[in-house]
Copies of this chain bind each other. A is one copy, B any other.
Amino acid sequence: MGKKAFQDYYPDDFNHCYGCGQLNSQGLQIRSYWDGDESIAVFTPKPYHISIPGYVYGGLIGSLIDCHSIGTASAAAYRFAGRKMGSQPTLRFVTASLQVSFLKPVVLGEELEIRGQVQEIKERKIIVRTEVRVNGIVCAEGEVIAVKLPDSMTSEKK
């Protein structure tokens, strides 16, 4: 896909995250995009992302919800500020709280569709609700409270 994902705009220093860093060769490397007012990512779990036989590991689903929601928060912050994604200073968010409800077991081997919606947006705090669907059926839903990355945790040159 030629389109740039939210994660492609992360500065290299901040693109090593196990879940969504495009520079982490051992990570999940999820890629999130806008689809109107919603955000979307797709991911096909590997055979070793198993829980009980035939089903996907819940911790993976939680990780996908976490990273997709954080990417959505970053993209939404740029939209909210009327700024181009990736412009300086970087708007990056971290997870303060992650809640996941597992509604149906997810069969291993299927592609997961991960869809986020911004529920609340302020300069320093964004709430994103994210669903994980398989063949159109919602199997898990989550809520992430994202807070702006404190300056003390960035090494970005100003």
Contact = CB atoms under 8 A, between A and B. Distances in A.
B96 A97 contact: no
A99 interface: yes
Interface string A62-88: 110011000000000000000000000
Contacts of A51: 17-19, 94
Interface stretch (A32-40, A52-60, A130-138): A52-60
A155 B59 contact: no
B63 A59 contact: yes
Copies in the complex: 2
A109 interface: no
A50 B16 contact: yes
A98 to B, nearest CB: 5
A14 interface: yes
Nearest to A17: B51
Interface of A: 13-14, 16-19, 21, 24, 26-27, 48-53, 55, 57-60, 62-63, 66-67, 92, 94-102, 105, 149, 153-155
